[in-house]
Structure 1
Amino acid sequence: MIDLRQTPEYANYMSSIGWIVSSIGRSASGRERKTYAYIRKFPIIGSFIKIQRPEILREKEIKLIERLSKKYRVFQIVIEPKYTKHCTLIAEYGFRQSRNPFVPSKTIHIDLTKPENQLLKEMHHKTRYNIKVAQRNGINVKPSENIKGFSEFWQDCAIRQRNMFLSQKKEITALYKAFGKNAKLLLGFKGKKLVSGILMIKTKNIAYYMYAASSDKGKKLFAPTLNAWEAIKLSKKLGCKIFDFEGIYDERFPLKSWKGFTRFKKSFGGKEVEHPGAFTKFRFPL
Protein backbone atom coordinates (compact mmCIF):
# COMPACT_ATOMS: atom_id res chain seq x y z
CA MET A 1 0.00 0.00 0.00
CA ILE A 2 1.35 3.41 -0.98
CA ASP A 3 2.36 5.59 1.95
CA LEU A 4 0.69 8.94 2.51
CA ARG A 5 3.94 10.81 1.81
CA GLN A 6 4.09 9.36 -1.71
CA THR A 7 0.67 10.51 -2.91
CA PRO A 8 0.01 13.39 -5.34
CA GLU A 9 -2.19 15.06 -2.71
CA TYR A 10 0.63 15.10 -0.19
CA ALA A 11 2.98 16.47 -2.85
CA ASN A 12 0.48 19.30 -3.42
CA TYR A 13 0.38 19.92 0.31
CA MET A 14 4.16 20.17 0.54
CA SER A 15 4.24 22.54 -2.41
CA SER A 16 1.59 24.74 -0.79
CA ILE A 17 3.71 25.22 2.35
CA GLY A 18 6.85 26.19 0.47
CA TRP A 19 8.69 22.99 -0.46
CA ILE A 20 9.93 22.26 -3.97
CA VAL A 21 8.47 18.96 -5.18
CA SER A 22 10.42 16.80 -7.60
CA SER A 23 9.66 13.30 -8.85
CA ILE A 24 12.21 10.61 -9.60
CA GLY A 25 12.33 7.06 -10.86
CA ARG A 26 9.30 6.85 -13.12
CA SER A 27 9.87 4.69 -16.20
CA ALA A 28 9.26 5.99 -19.71
CA SER A 29 6.26 3.69 -20.03
CA GLY A 30 4.80 5.12 -16.85
CA ARG A 31 4.29 1.66 -15.38
CA GLU A 32 6.45 2.32 -12.34
CA ARG A 33 5.15 4.69 -9.72
CA LYS A 34 7.17 7.87 -9.39
CA THR A 35 8.81 8.77 -6.09
CA TYR A 36 8.36 12.23 -4.64
CA ALA A 37 11.33 14.12 -3.23
CA TYR A 38 10.80 17.27 -1.15
CA ILE A 39 13.37 20.08 -1.23
CA ARG A 40 13.67 23.13 1.00
CA LYS A 41 15.99 25.98 -0.02
CA PHE A 42 17.91 27.99 2.57
CA PRO A 43 19.75 31.25 1.93
CA ILE A 44 23.52 30.89 1.39
CA ILE A 45 23.95 27.35 2.80
CA GLY A 46 22.03 25.51 0.06
CA SER A 47 19.12 23.07 0.24
CA PHE A 48 17.78 20.17 2.26
CA ILE A 49 16.10 17.17 0.57
CA LYS A 50 13.98 14.38 2.01
CA ILE A 51 12.53 11.25 0.42
CA GLN A 52 9.99 9.54 2.65
CA ARG A 53 8.68 5.97 2.45
CA PRO A 54 9.33 5.33 -1.26
CA GLU A 55 7.75 2.18 -2.63
CA ILE A 56 10.72 1.56 -4.95
CA LEU A 57 14.33 2.28 -3.98
CA ARG A 58 17.12 0.84 -6.10
CA GLU A 59 20.57 1.93 -7.22
CA LYS A 60 18.86 3.83 -10.05
CA GLU A 61 16.81 5.92 -7.61
CA ILE A 62 19.80 6.61 -5.35
CA LYS A 63 21.78 7.96 -8.31
CA LEU A 64 18.83 10.14 -9.35
CA ILE A 65 18.64 11.50 -5.80
CA GLU A 66 22.36 12.32 -5.94
CA ARG A 67 21.85 14.10 -9.27
CA LEU A 68 18.94 16.08 -7.84
CA SER A 69 21.11 17.02 -4.86
CA LYS A 70 23.74 18.52 -7.16
CA LYS A 71 21.10 20.49 -9.03
CA TYR A 72 19.74 22.12 -5.87
CA ARG A 73 23.07 22.44 -4.01
CA VAL A 74 21.87 20.15 -1.23
CA PHE A 75 23.86 20.05 2.03
CA GLN A 76 21.84 17.22 3.62
CA ILE A 77 19.91 14.29 2.16
CA VAL A 78 17.44 12.33 4.27
CA ILE A 79 15.87 9.05 3.14
CA GLU A 80 13.23 7.38 5.28
CA PRO A 81 12.77 3.93 3.73
CA LYS A 82 9.52 2.04 3.94
CA TYR A 83 11.16 -1.38 3.96
CA THR A 84 14.09 -2.78 5.94
CA LYS A 85 15.40 -4.42 2.75
CA HIS A 86 16.34 -0.96 1.44
CA CYS A 87 18.66 -0.16 4.35
CA THR A 88 21.68 -2.09 3.06
CA LEU A 89 21.66 -0.25 -0.26
CA ILE A 90 21.30 3.11 1.46
CA ALA A 91 24.27 2.35 3.72
CA GLU A 92 26.38 1.36 0.71
CA TYR A 93 25.92 4.90 -0.62
CA GLY A 94 27.22 6.49 2.56
CA PHE A 95 23.98 7.14 4.46
CA ARG A 96 23.99 6.74 8.24
CA GLN A 97 21.14 6.10 10.65
CA SER A 98 19.76 9.29 12.16
CA ARG A 99 18.57 9.58 15.76
CA ASN A 100 15.67 11.80 14.70
CA PRO A 101 13.15 10.44 12.17
CA PHE A 102 11.00 13.04 10.42
CA VAL A 103 7.97 10.76 10.19
CA PRO A 104 6.93 8.32 12.94
CA SER A 105 9.13 5.23 12.92
CA LYS A 106 6.61 3.14 14.84
CA THR A 107 2.82 3.13 14.74
CA ILE A 108 -0.36 1.18 15.41
CA HIS A 109 -2.43 -0.34 12.60
CA ILE A 110 -6.07 -1.25 13.18
CA ASP A 111 -7.34 -3.94 10.79
CA LEU A 112 -10.56 -2.47 9.39
CA THR A 113 -11.48 -5.66 7.53
CA LYS A 114 -12.67 -6.99 10.90
CA PRO A 115 -16.29 -6.40 11.97
CA GLU A 116 -16.99 -3.58 14.44
CA ASN A 117 -17.85 -5.94 17.28
CA GLN A 118 -14.47 -7.65 16.85
CA LEU A 119 -12.66 -4.29 16.90
CA LEU A 120 -14.45 -3.43 20.14
CA LYS A 121 -13.56 -6.82 21.60
CA GLU A 122 -9.86 -6.30 20.85
CA MET A 123 -9.74 -2.96 22.67
CA HIS A 124 -8.67 -2.64 26.28
CA HIS A 125 -11.76 -3.11 28.45
CA LYS A 126 -11.38 0.42 29.89
CA THR A 127 -11.38 1.90 26.38
CA ARG A 128 -14.70 0.18 25.57
CA TYR A 129 -16.04 1.43 28.89
CA ASN A 130 -14.81 5.00 28.28
CA ILE A 131 -16.60 5.11 24.92
CA LYS A 132 -19.86 4.46 26.76
CA VAL A 133 -18.94 6.98 29.47
CA ALA A 134 -18.36 9.67 26.83
CA GLN A 135 -21.75 8.91 25.30
CA ARG A 136 -23.43 9.10 28.74
CA ASN A 137 -21.61 12.40 29.32
CA GLY A 138 -23.42 13.81 26.29
CA ILE A 139 -20.46 14.00 23.91
CA ASN A 140 -21.66 14.35 20.33
CA VAL A 141 -19.14 13.64 17.55
CA LYS A 142 -20.07 14.86 14.10
CA PRO A 143 -18.41 15.61 10.75
CA SER A 144 -17.44 19.19 10.04
CA GLU A 145 -15.80 21.36 7.38
CA ASN A 146 -14.73 24.06 9.82
CA ILE A 147 -11.01 23.56 9.41
CA LYS A 148 -10.27 27.12 10.57
CA GLY A 149 -12.06 26.47 13.85
CA PHE A 150 -10.28 23.14 14.34
CA SER A 151 -6.81 24.56 13.57
CA GLU A 152 -7.35 27.31 16.14
CA PHE A 153 -8.66 24.79 18.68
CA TRP A 154 -5.68 22.47 18.05
CA GLN A 155 -3.21 25.32 18.46
CA ASP A 156 -4.87 26.53 21.66
CA CYS A 157 -4.70 23.01 23.16
CA ALA A 158 -1.05 22.67 22.09
CA ILE A 159 -0.11 25.93 23.82
CA ARG A 160 -2.05 25.21 27.03
CA GLN A 161 -1.14 21.55 27.42
CA ARG A 162 2.33 21.24 25.84
CA ASN A 163 3.71 24.79 25.74
CA MET A 164 3.93 24.38 21.96
CA PHE A 165 3.93 27.95 20.67
CA LEU A 166 5.10 27.25 17.11
CA SER A 167 1.93 27.58 15.05
CA GLN A 168 0.69 24.62 13.01
CA LYS A 169 -2.48 26.33 11.77
CA LYS A 170 -1.09 26.89 8.29
CA GLU A 171 -0.01 23.24 7.95
CA ILE A 172 -3.32 21.87 9.25
CA THR A 173 -5.35 24.01 6.87
CA ALA A 174 -3.08 23.29 3.89
CA LEU A 175 -3.23 19.52 4.50
CA TYR A 176 -7.02 19.61 4.69
CA LYS A 177 -7.28 21.58 1.45
CA ALA A 178 -4.74 19.45 -0.43
CA PHE A 179 -6.64 16.21 0.25
CA GLY A 180 -10.07 17.68 -0.46
CA LYS A 181 -12.81 15.03 -0.14
CA ASN A 182 -10.25 12.61 1.34
CA ALA A 183 -9.72 14.87 4.36
CA LYS A 184 -12.28 14.13 7.08
CA LEU A 185 -12.79 16.31 10.11
CA LEU A 186 -14.64 14.90 13.13
CA LEU A 187 -15.41 17.26 16.00
CA GLY A 188 -16.67 16.38 19.49
CA PHE A 189 -19.05 18.71 21.30
CA LYS A 190 -20.49 18.99 24.78
CA GLY A 191 -23.59 20.96 24.02
CA LYS A 192 -22.33 23.73 21.73
CA LYS A 193 -18.80 23.68 23.17
CA LEU A 194 -16.03 22.13 21.08
CA VAL A 195 -14.07 19.73 23.31
CA SER A 196 -12.24 17.40 20.90
CA GLY A 197 -11.40 16.90 17.25
CA ILE A 198 -9.56 14.72 14.75
CA LEU A 199 -8.33 15.52 11.25
CA MET A 200 -8.15 12.21 9.39
CA ILE A 201 -6.56 11.82 5.96
CA LYS A 202 -7.64 9.00 3.65
CA THR A 203 -5.64 7.37 0.88
CA LYS A 204 -6.89 4.43 -1.19
CA ASN A 205 -6.63 1.83 1.58
CA ILE A 206 -5.38 3.63 4.68
CA ALA A 207 -6.88 6.25 6.98
CA TYR A 208 -4.34 8.32 8.92
CA TYR A 209 -4.94 9.90 12.34
CA MET A 210 -3.05 13.09 11.47
CA TYR A 211 -4.04 15.80 13.94
CA ALA A 212 -5.99 15.36 17.16
CA ALA A 213 -6.76 17.61 20.10
CA SER A 214 -8.91 17.77 23.20
CA SER A 215 -9.52 20.41 25.83
CA ASP A 216 -8.98 19.55 29.49
CA LYS A 217 -12.76 19.38 29.90
CA GLY A 218 -13.02 17.05 26.92
CA LYS A 219 -10.44 14.70 28.44
CA LYS A 220 -12.38 14.53 31.70
CA LEU A 221 -15.49 13.59 29.71
CA PHE A 222 -13.55 10.98 27.64
CA ALA A 223 -14.33 12.83 24.42
CA PRO A 224 -11.00 11.82 22.73
CA THR A 225 -11.86 8.12 23.13
CA LEU A 226 -15.27 8.46 21.51
CA ASN A 227 -13.80 10.78 18.84
CA ALA A 228 -11.15 8.19 17.91
CA TRP A 229 -13.71 5.37 17.80
CA GLU A 230 -15.95 7.40 15.49
CA ALA A 231 -12.93 8.05 13.24
CA ILE A 232 -12.19 4.32 13.10
CA LYS A 233 -15.82 3.54 12.22
CA LEU A 234 -15.89 6.23 9.52
CA SER A 235 -12.65 4.86 8.02
CA LYS A 236 -14.19 1.41 7.81
CA LYS A 237 -17.36 2.83 6.24
CA LEU A 238 -15.25 4.63 3.60
CA GLY A 239 -13.69 1.32 2.56
CA CYS A 240 -10.25 1.68 4.14
CA LYS A 241 -8.47 -1.51 5.15
CA ILE A 242 -6.18 0.03 7.77
CA PHE A 243 -6.51 2.78 10.34
CA ASP A 244 -3.02 4.15 11.02
CA PHE A 245 -2.60 5.96 14.36
CA GLU A 246 0.42 7.74 12.80
CA GLY A 247 2.99 7.42 15.52
CA ILE A 248 3.70 5.87 18.92
CA TYR A 249 6.70 5.83 21.24
CA ASP A 250 9.68 4.03 19.72
CA GLU A 251 12.38 2.72 22.08
CA ARG A 252 14.94 3.02 19.25
CA PHE A 253 14.37 6.78 18.96
CA PRO A 254 12.94 7.68 22.39
CA LEU A 255 10.80 10.77 22.91
CA LYS A 256 9.43 10.75 26.46
CA SER A 257 6.65 13.16 25.54
CA TRP A 258 5.17 10.47 23.27
CA LYS A 259 4.57 7.96 26.07
CA GLY A 260 1.26 9.45 27.18
CA PHE A 261 -0.59 9.37 23.87
CA THR A 262 1.05 6.03 23.07
CA ARG A 263 -0.86 4.41 25.96
CA PHE A 264 -4.05 5.94 24.58
CA LYS A 265 -3.45 4.66 21.03
CA LYS A 266 -2.40 1.17 22.16
CA SER A 267 -5.61 0.82 24.14
CA PHE A 268 -7.55 0.51 20.86
CA GLY A 269 -5.82 -2.77 20.03
CA GLY A 270 -4.31 -3.34 16.61
CA LYS A 271 -0.72 -4.30 15.88
CA GLU A 272 2.52 -2.41 16.21
CA VAL A 273 4.33 -1.65 12.95
CA GLU A 274 7.98 -0.57 12.79
CA HIS A 275 9.76 1.34 10.03
CA PRO A 276 13.56 1.61 9.67
CA GLY A 277 13.70 5.28 10.64
CA ALA A 278 15.71 7.99 8.88
CA PHE A 279 19.07 7.76 7.12
CA THR A 280 21.06 10.90 6.43
CA LYS A 281 24.02 11.98 4.35
CA PHE A 282 25.80 15.34 4.42
CA ARG A 283 27.51 16.79 1.38
CA PHE A 284 29.18 20.01 0.27
CA PRO A 285 26.53 22.06 -1.59
CA LEU A 286 28.52 22.56 -4.78
Structure 2
Amino acid sequence: MFIKKHFAQRLLFKLTPMRLSVIAACLIAGLGNPALGAEGRESVREHVEVVAVGDRLEMRLADGRVVVMPTLEPQRASAAEPERDKAVAAQVLALVQGKTLTLQPLGAADRWGRVPARLFLPDAEDSVDELLLAAGLAMRAAVAAPESARRAEDAAREAGVGLWADPAFHALAPNRPQDFSGREGALALVEGQVGSIGRTRTRIYLNFGGWGGFYASVAQRNWPAFERAGFSETSLRNRKLRLRGIVDLDRAPHMELFHPEQIEFMDEPPRAAAQPSDPKF
Protein backbone atom coordinates (compact mmCIF):
# COMPACT_ATOMS: atom_id res chain seq x y z
CA MET A 1 0.00 0.00 0.00
CA PHE A 2 1.30 3.48 -0.85
CA ILE A 3 0.82 6.81 0.88
CA LYS A 4 -2.41 8.55 -0.13
CA LYS A 5 -1.97 12.02 -1.53
CA HIS A 6 -4.12 13.77 1.08
CA PHE A 7 -1.97 12.25 3.87
CA ALA A 8 1.24 13.58 2.34
CA GLN A 9 -0.34 17.00 1.84
CA ARG A 10 -1.32 17.19 5.53
CA LEU A 11 2.21 16.10 6.50
CA LEU A 12 3.80 18.77 4.32
CA PHE A 13 1.52 21.43 5.83
CA LYS A 14 2.62 20.51 9.37
CA LEU A 15 6.36 20.29 8.72
CA THR A 16 8.83 23.09 8.14
CA PRO A 17 9.26 23.80 4.42
CA MET A 18 13.02 23.41 4.00
CA ARG A 19 14.42 19.92 4.33
CA LEU A 20 11.09 18.44 5.29
CA SER A 21 9.77 18.87 1.76
CA VAL A 22 12.11 15.98 0.97
CA ILE A 23 10.37 13.59 3.33
CA ALA A 24 6.98 14.51 1.92
CA ALA A 25 8.26 13.74 -1.56
CA CYS A 26 9.58 10.39 -0.37
CA LEU A 27 6.25 9.56 1.22
CA ILE A 28 4.27 10.52 -1.88
CA ALA A 29 6.58 8.46 -4.08
CA GLY A 30 6.33 5.40 -1.88
CA LEU A 31 10.12 5.14 -1.65
CA GLY A 32 11.34 1.90 -0.15
CA ASN A 33 10.46 -1.77 -0.06
CA PRO A 34 6.73 -2.49 0.45
CA ALA A 35 7.31 -6.19 0.86
CA LEU A 36 9.48 -5.73 3.92
CA GLY A 37 6.94 -3.42 5.51
CA ALA A 38 4.15 -5.93 4.99
CA GLU A 39 6.27 -8.74 6.39
CA GLY A 40 7.11 -6.67 9.46
CA ARG A 41 3.44 -5.98 10.16
CA GLU A 42 2.61 -9.68 10.35
CA SER A 43 4.64 -10.05 13.57
CA VAL A 44 3.37 -6.87 15.21
CA ARG A 45 1.16 -7.24 18.26
CA GLU A 46 0.15 -3.70 19.13
CA HIS A 47 -0.62 -0.15 18.11
CA VAL A 48 0.94 2.82 19.88
CA GLU A 49 0.97 6.61 20.02
CA VAL A 50 4.12 8.73 20.27
CA VAL A 51 3.99 11.77 22.56
CA ALA A 52 7.62 12.96 22.48
CA VAL A 53 10.83 12.53 20.46
CA GLY A 54 14.24 13.11 22.04
CA ASP A 55 17.34 14.59 20.44
CA ARG A 56 18.69 11.05 19.96
CA LEU A 57 15.46 10.04 18.16
CA GLU A 58 14.18 7.98 21.07
CA MET A 59 10.36 8.03 21.14
CA ARG A 60 8.26 8.19 24.29
CA LEU A 61 4.94 6.42 23.94
CA ALA A 62 1.65 7.41 25.52
CA ASP A 63 1.95 4.41 27.88
CA GLY A 64 5.31 5.67 29.18
CA ARG A 65 7.62 3.29 27.35
CA VAL A 66 10.58 4.58 25.35
CA VAL A 67 11.26 3.13 21.89
CA VAL A 68 14.52 3.34 19.97
CA MET A 69 15.08 2.54 16.29
CA PRO A 70 18.42 0.67 16.31
CA THR A 71 18.90 1.08 12.56
CA LEU A 72 19.41 4.83 13.02
CA GLU A 73 22.41 6.76 14.25
CA PRO A 74 21.26 9.73 16.34
CA GLN A 75 21.74 13.07 14.61
CA ARG A 76 24.70 15.23 15.52
CA ALA A 77 25.31 18.92 15.09
CA SER A 78 27.70 20.36 12.52
CA ALA A 79 29.18 23.76 11.82
CA ALA A 80 26.54 24.29 9.16
CA GLU A 81 23.69 23.24 11.45
CA PRO A 82 24.58 23.47 15.14
CA GLU A 83 20.97 22.70 16.17
CA ARG A 84 20.47 19.81 13.74
CA ASP A 85 19.66 17.22 16.43
CA LYS A 86 16.89 19.33 17.94
CA ALA A 87 15.53 20.32 14.53
CA VAL A 88 15.34 16.72 13.34
CA ALA A 89 13.67 15.61 16.60
CA ALA A 90 11.00 18.27 16.08
CA GLN A 91 10.53 17.19 12.48
CA VAL A 92 10.14 13.53 13.44
CA LEU A 93 7.63 14.45 16.15
CA ALA A 94 5.61 16.38 13.57
CA LEU A 95 5.63 13.27 11.39
CA VAL A 96 4.33 10.85 14.03
CA GLN A 97 2.40 12.92 16.56
CA GLY A 98 -1.34 12.36 16.73
CA LYS A 99 -1.22 9.15 14.71
CA THR A 100 -1.70 5.54 15.73
CA LEU A 101 1.49 3.73 14.75
CA THR A 102 2.12 0.02 14.40
CA LEU A 103 4.97 -1.24 16.58
CA GLN A 104 7.15 -4.24 15.74
CA PRO A 105 9.38 -5.12 18.72
CA LEU A 106 12.91 -6.22 17.80
CA GLY A 107 14.00 -7.48 21.21
CA ALA A 108 13.85 -6.99 24.95
CA ALA A 109 14.26 -3.61 26.60
CA ASP A 110 17.84 -2.56 27.34
CA ARG A 111 19.17 -1.70 30.79
CA TRP A 112 17.73 1.80 30.48
CA GLY A 113 14.29 0.37 29.72
CA ARG A 114 14.33 1.36 26.04
CA VAL A 115 12.55 -1.00 23.65
CA PRO A 116 14.22 -1.60 20.25
CA ALA A 117 11.52 -1.59 17.61
CA ARG A 118 10.37 -0.62 14.16
CA LEU A 119 7.42 1.73 13.78
CA PHE A 120 5.02 2.08 10.87
CA LEU A 121 2.76 5.02 10.07
CA PRO A 122 -0.88 4.04 9.46
CA ASP A 123 -0.76 4.56 5.68
CA ALA A 124 2.88 3.62 5.03
CA GLU A 125 4.45 0.30 4.10
CA ASP A 126 7.97 1.57 4.83
CA SER A 127 9.01 1.82 8.46
CA VAL A 128 9.64 5.22 10.02
CA ASP A 129 13.39 4.60 10.15
CA GLU A 130 13.46 3.84 6.41
CA LEU A 131 11.50 7.01 5.64
CA LEU A 132 13.97 9.08 7.65
CA LEU A 133 16.94 7.42 5.93
CA ALA A 134 15.40 8.00 2.51
CA ALA A 135 14.86 11.69 3.28
CA GLY A 136 18.41 12.17 4.56
CA LEU A 137 17.11 12.99 8.03
CA ALA A 138 19.17 10.22 9.65
CA MET A 139 22.24 8.10 9.04
CA ARG A 140 22.28 4.32 9.21
CA ALA A 141 24.02 3.08 12.35
CA ALA A 142 26.99 0.70 12.25
CA VAL A 143 24.76 -2.31 12.87
CA ALA A 144 23.16 -5.04 10.79
CA ALA A 145 20.25 -3.52 8.87
CA PRO A 146 17.57 -4.68 6.43
CA GLU A 147 18.49 -4.34 2.77
CA SER A 148 15.64 -1.85 2.35
CA ALA A 149 17.26 0.44 4.94
CA ARG A 150 20.60 0.20 3.14
CA ARG A 151 18.96 1.09 -0.18
CA ALA A 152 17.08 4.01 1.40
CA GLU A 153 20.29 5.56 2.73
CA ASP A 154 22.16 4.85 -0.51
CA ALA A 155 19.51 6.73 -2.50
CA ALA A 156 19.61 9.74 -0.15
CA ARG A 157 23.41 9.85 -0.13
CA GLU A 158 23.68 9.61 -3.91
CA ALA A 159 21.07 12.36 -4.31
CA GLY A 160 22.81 14.57 -1.73
CA VAL A 161 19.61 15.27 0.22
CA GLY A 162 19.25 16.13 3.89
CA LEU A 163 22.39 15.61 5.96
CA TRP A 164 24.25 14.31 2.90
CA ALA A 165 24.31 17.87 1.53
CA ASP A 166 26.46 18.82 4.54
CA PRO A 167 30.23 18.24 4.04
CA ALA A 168 30.45 17.20 7.70
CA PHE A 169 28.79 13.91 6.75
CA HIS A 170 30.69 13.19 3.53
CA ALA A 171 32.91 10.11 3.45
CA LEU A 172 36.44 10.65 4.75
CA ALA A 173 39.51 9.84 2.66
CA PRO A 174 42.05 7.64 4.50
CA ASN A 175 44.98 9.52 2.96
CA ARG A 176 43.83 12.79 4.55
CA PRO A 177 44.32 12.23 8.30
CA GLN A 178 43.77 15.94 8.95
CA ASP A 179 40.11 15.51 7.93
CA PHE A 180 39.56 13.19 10.89
CA SER A 181 40.22 16.00 13.35
CA GLY A 182 37.15 16.67 15.46
CA ARG A 183 35.54 13.33 14.55
CA GLU A 184 36.64 11.43 17.68
CA GLY A 185 33.77 9.25 18.92
CA ALA A 186 31.52 10.06 15.95
CA LEU A 187 30.12 7.66 13.38
CA ALA A 188 31.73 8.21 9.99
CA LEU A 189 32.12 6.69 6.55
CA VAL A 190 35.63 6.13 5.24
CA GLU A 191 36.24 5.27 1.59
CA GLY A 192 39.55 4.07 0.23
CA GLN A 193 41.72 1.22 -0.99
CA VAL A 194 43.31 -1.30 1.36
CA GLY A 195 47.07 -1.06 0.96
CA SER A 196 48.12 -3.94 3.17
CA ILE A 197 46.79 -6.34 5.79
CA GLY A 198 48.56 -7.21 9.01
CA ARG A 199 47.87 -9.79 11.67
CA THR A 200 48.82 -10.11 15.32
CA ARG A 201 47.81 -12.63 17.93
CA THR A 202 44.75 -10.56 18.85
CA ARG A 203 43.86 -8.48 15.78
CA ILE A 204 43.70 -8.22 12.01
CA TYR A 205 44.59 -4.82 10.58
CA LEU A 206 43.43 -3.24 7.32
CA ASN A 207 45.99 -0.56 6.51
CA PHE A 208 44.97 2.19 4.11
CA GLY A 209 48.19 4.20 4.23
CA GLY A 210 51.64 4.42 5.66
CA TRP A 211 52.73 4.86 9.27
CA GLY A 212 50.35 7.24 11.03
CA GLY A 213 47.69 6.83 8.35
CA PHE A 214 44.16 5.51 8.75
CA TYR A 215 43.60 1.84 9.53
CA ALA A 216 40.76 -0.42 10.64
CA SER A 217 41.02 -3.46 12.88
CA VAL A 218 39.04 -6.60 13.68
CA ALA A 219 39.53 -8.53 16.92
CA GLN A 220 40.49 -12.15 16.27
CA ARG A 221 37.51 -13.29 18.34
CA ASN A 222 35.20 -11.50 15.87
CA TRP A 223 36.97 -12.60 12.69
CA PRO A 224 35.00 -15.88 12.26
CA ALA A 225 31.84 -13.81 11.69
CA PHE A 226 33.58 -11.99 8.85
CA GLU A 227 34.72 -15.29 7.35
CA ARG A 228 31.17 -16.63 7.49
CA ALA A 229 30.09 -13.53 5.56
CA GLY A 230 32.64 -14.33 2.84
CA PHE A 231 35.48 -12.01 3.87
CA SER A 232 39.10 -13.13 3.93
CA GLU A 233 42.48 -11.45 3.86
CA THR A 234 42.68 -12.31 0.17
CA SER A 235 39.25 -10.89 -0.65
CA LEU A 236 40.01 -7.62 1.17
CA ARG A 237 43.56 -6.98 -0.01
CA ASN A 238 43.84 -4.09 -2.50
CA ARG A 239 40.07 -3.65 -2.59
CA LYS A 240 38.28 -0.32 -2.47
CA LEU A 241 36.04 -0.30 0.60
CA ARG A 242 33.49 1.87 2.34
CA LEU A 243 33.77 1.44 6.10
CA ARG A 244 31.18 2.57 8.65
CA GLY A 245 32.19 2.94 12.27
CA ILE A 246 33.20 5.10 15.21
CA VAL A 247 36.33 7.17 14.70
CA ASP A 248 39.17 6.77 17.20
CA LEU A 249 42.13 9.17 17.06
CA ASP A 250 44.45 7.46 19.54
CA ARG A 251 47.92 7.48 17.90
CA ALA A 252 46.38 7.46 14.39
CA PRO A 253 42.89 7.72 12.87
CA HIS A 254 41.26 4.30 12.99
CA MET A 255 38.03 2.43 13.64
CA GLU A 256 37.23 -1.00 15.02
CA LEU A 257 35.03 -3.31 12.96
CA PHE A 258 32.77 -5.55 15.01
CA HIS A 259 30.66 -7.18 12.30
CA PRO A 260 30.67 -7.62 8.49
CA GLU A 261 27.90 -5.06 7.93
CA GLN A 262 30.49 -2.34 8.54
CA ILE A 263 32.28 -3.18 5.28
CA GLU A 264 31.03 -2.52 1.75
CA PHE A 265 32.94 -3.21 -1.44
CA MET A 266 32.97 -0.15 -3.69
CA ASP A 267 34.54 -1.88 -6.70
CA GLU A 268 31.59 -4.22 -7.22
CA PRO A 269 28.35 -3.47 -9.08
CA PRO A 270 26.18 -1.42 -6.69
CA ARG A 271 22.97 -2.76 -5.22
CA ALA A 272 19.84 -1.53 -6.96
CA ALA A 273 18.84 1.70 -5.25
CA ALA A 274 15.29 2.32 -4.11
CA GLN A 275 13.33 3.91 -6.93
CA PRO A 276 10.27 6.15 -6.60
CA SER A 277 7.02 4.65 -7.84
CA ASP A 278 3.86 6.26 -9.12
CA PRO A 279 1.34 6.64 -6.29
CA LYS A 280 -1.36 3.99 -6.19
CA PHE A 281 -4.67 4.51 -4.48
TM class, shorter-chain normalised?
0.3 to 0.5
Bigger relative contact order, structure 1 or 2, given CA contacts below 8 A and separation 6+?
1
Normalising by structure 2, what TM-score?
0.33
Alignment TM-score, normalising by the size of structure 1: 0.32
Instruction: Say which structure is richer in strand.
Output: 1
Q: Which has the higher helix share?
A: 1
